[in-house]
């Protein structure tokens, strides 16, 4: 059963276009240029991310899926009949199926994502596969509390946040996000969250700079999106994808490096780039189990269970709202 979104599926609407233009121009006007990583996910970006998840070098999706396959029963154990599953940054919702298979008496599934196309495809697929389930997609930035449909307001909520998407935020923002999720999920709510673990930097860099160049295309698509949606004139051949492990910060960084002195026009503004200058497009923080549990506590979540894969690549945590 697929219900319409709370607000119109809005990729490309004027508010979002305005926000995109403002944040792009602000980010590219800074002394160290940046672009917010949530803008990587237009329809093309979501498609490219799905390709990334199938790359031999990109271990997180396989590792997390193996953990979910092995432990979905335990993860689903304290989701009450009639409860609601709220997924943040749901994308293709493929991993969700592993939980939903164990939750035949769940009342509703509420996927939240900025990518309208990913949300629409996933919601249709899930509504067909689980016809008894009330599927209520919401196009929104998960950094702000989302309101659930009124008829679900009083029901028990379990949050699902797989993929280590929280790693794309700086730790301070990640703690703030976990506070927001407590508001959405209410006291007594549960959160099942996937966290990529610290490991050999070489393996990390290969995962974010694959030999087939899919991650490079994903990163460069941000410039292509600026050209498409903001009338920019980036020459994609004049920028190169770079992935580095920043050991001090404990994160992989993605950058787009200008291959020459050049300038680009966006919405009538001229943005200069020096040869070698980079635009920082994404962070992907890697945590130890203890570090992530401390982060969860900082936002009043109590760590309850943690599962890892046999190679110790990835972890899935169950947290309880204090
Ligand atoms: N959960 C899926 C997808 C991870 S990719 C998985 O584990 O494979 C990250 C997803 O989060 C994308 O679908 C992207 O569109 C979404 N996303 C990124 N930033 C977001 C934000 N600020 N608000 C809502 N969704 C966001
Ligand atoms: C969604 N997110 C957790 C991915 C990651 O691994 O940080 C995004 C990604 N960027 C490049 N490859 C994958």
Give me the chain's average pLDDT, please: 95
Tokens of 241: 């994808």
**CA proximity to 109, closest of 71, 144, 155, 63:** 155
pTM of the model: 0.95
Q: Output the pLDDT for position 186.
A: 86
Q: For ligand 2, atom 11, name the residue with the nearest CA.
A: 208
Question: Ligand 1: residues whose CB is within 6 Å?
Answer: 38, 41, 46, 49, 53, 61, 89-91, 95, 112-115, 118, 141-143, 162-163, 165
Q: Output the pLDDT for position 1.
A: 67
CA distances from 92 to 10, 43, 110, 144, 255 (A): 18, 12, 13, 21, 25
The number of residues in the chain equals 322
Please say if the pLDDT value at position 246 is more than 50.
yes
Please say if the pLDDT value at position 219 is more than 70.
yes
Q: 23 and 36 in contact (C-beta within 8 Å)?
A: yes
Ligand 2 pocket residue status of 209, Cβ below 6 Å: no
Q: 243 alpha carbon to ligand 1 midpoint, in Å?
A: 20
Residue 17 banded pLDDT, cuts 50, 70, 90 = confident
Nearest atom within ligand 2 for CA of residue 60: 6
Ligand 2 pocket residue status of 91, Cβ below 6 Å: no
Please say if the pLDDT value at position 233 is more than 90.
yes
DSSP, res 4: P
**CA proximity to 65, closest of 303, 309, 286:** 309
Mean pLDDT (whole number) for 75-89:
96
Mean pLDDT (whole number) for 37-58:
98
Q: Output the pLDDT for position 8.
A: 36
Q: Among 5, 37, 91, 139, name the best residue to mutate to test ligand 1's pocket (greatest count of ligand atoms within 8 A of Cβ).
A: 91
Q: Give the contacts of 165 (CB within 8 A, at least 6 positions apart).
A: 88, 89, 194
Least confident of 5-19, 140-154, 278-292: 5-19
CA distances from 207 to 42, 55, 196, 201, 311 (A): 21, 8, 12, 10, 16
Mean pLDDT (whole number) for 170-177:
98
Distance CA 123, CA 228 (A): 26
Strand pairing class (138-139; 108-113): parallel
Instruction: Give me the percent of the chain exceeding a pLDDT of 90.
Output: 93
Q: 107 and 129 in contact (C-beta within 8 Å)?
A: no
Q: For ligand 1, atom 16, name the residue with the nearest CA.
A: 89
Q: 273 and 262 in contact (C-beta within 8 Å)?
A: yes
Q: For ligand 1, atom 6, name the residue with the nearest CA.
A: 163
Residue given tokens 């980036």 in the structure block? 234
Mean pLDDT (whole number) for 249-264:
98
């Amino acid at each position: 059963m697929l219900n319409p979104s709370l607000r119109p599926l809005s990729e490309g609407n004027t508010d979002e276009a305005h926000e995109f233009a403002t944040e792009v121009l602000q980010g590219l006007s800074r002394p160290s240029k940046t672009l917010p990583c949530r803008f990587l996910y237009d329809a093309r970006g979501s498609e490219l991310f799905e390709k990334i998840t199938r790359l031999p070098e990109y271990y997180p999706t396989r590792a997390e899926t193996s953990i979910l396959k092995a432990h979905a029963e335990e993860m689903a154990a304290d989701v009450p009949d009639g409860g609601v599953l709220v997924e943040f940054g749901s994308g293709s919702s493929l991993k969700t199926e592993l939980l939903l298979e164990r939750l035949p008496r769940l009342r509703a599934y509420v996927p939240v994502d900025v990518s309208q196309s990913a949300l629409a495809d996933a919601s249709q697929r899930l509504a067909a596969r689980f016809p008894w389930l009330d599927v209520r997609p919401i196009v929104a930035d998960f950094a702000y509390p989302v309101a659930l449909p009124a008829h679900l307001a009083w029901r028990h909520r379990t949050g699902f946040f797989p993929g280590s998407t929280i790693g794309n935020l700086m730790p301070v923002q990640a703690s703030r996000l976990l506070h927001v999720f407590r508001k959405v999920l209410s006291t007594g709510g549960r959160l099942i969250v996937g966290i990529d673990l610290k490991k050999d930097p070489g393996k990390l860099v290969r995962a974010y700079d694959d030999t087939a160049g899919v991650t490079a295309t994903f990163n460069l698509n941000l410039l292509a999106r600026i050209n498409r949606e903001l009338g920019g004139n980036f020459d994609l051949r004049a920028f190169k994808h770079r992935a580095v492990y920043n050991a001090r910060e404990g994160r992989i960084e993605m950058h787009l490096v200008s291959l020459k002195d050049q300038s680009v026009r966006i919405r009538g503004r001229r943005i200069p780039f020096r040869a070698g200058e980079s635009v920082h497009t994404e962070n992907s923080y890697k945590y130890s189990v203890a570090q992530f549990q401390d982060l969860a506590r900082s936002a009043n979540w109590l760590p309850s269970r943690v599962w890892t894969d046999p190679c110790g690549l990835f972890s899935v945590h169950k947290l309880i709202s204090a």
